Structure 1
Amino acid sequence: MLDDWIRLAKQSKNTKLKKKAVTMRTYRKGILAWYGYHLSIGKVEGINNKIKVMKRNAYGFRVERYLTLRLYALHDCHITRNAG
């Protein structure tokens, strides 16, 4: 069904729709994988964003271990304890 939509959109005269069809074709595999497994990377992206903010705020920490401890305290340790 997605392939049919992409084909019809590419045949359209609407340039924005054509551009959207190219994007959908590029990410086709990921889009269809979501329907099979219902996985989202939203939680991981949220954690990464929190870490980036922490690193910006931690500029000048003298002890690297302190930053590590702050990262563990930032969110659930069950997620980060075994991560690297």
Structure 2
Amino acid sequence: MLIAHRTGILAGYDCHLSTGKVEGINNNIKVMKRNAYGFRNKKYFKLRLYALHDCRITQNVG
């Protein structure tokens, strides 16, 4: 199996990308969803998502 995926595995060493920032954003969204359980207003939740990152990361979303 490793031989079959050898090029993809070795490409990870050539291209040093980290998904840490995206994982942090996803974690913040999950925490906010847990805290907002029971709220009925989806528009307010969307506004909270934008405010969560101070519109630096999510400015082109939506």
Q: TM-score, normalised by structure 1?
A: 0.57
Corresponding residue for residue 27 of structure 2 = 49
Give ranges in structure 2 of 5+ residues lacking alignment.
none
Q: TM-score, normalised by structure 2?
A: 0.72
Partner letter of residue 68 of structure 1? Answer: K
Give ranges in structure 1 of 5+ residues lacking alignment.
1-21
1:63 and 2:55 correspond: no
Larger Rg: 1
How many residues in Structure 1 have an aligned counterpart in Structure 2?
60
Q: Counterpart of 2:56 in 1: which secondary structure?
A: helix
Give the helix-richer structure, 1 or 2.
1
CA RMSD of aligned residues (A): 2.1
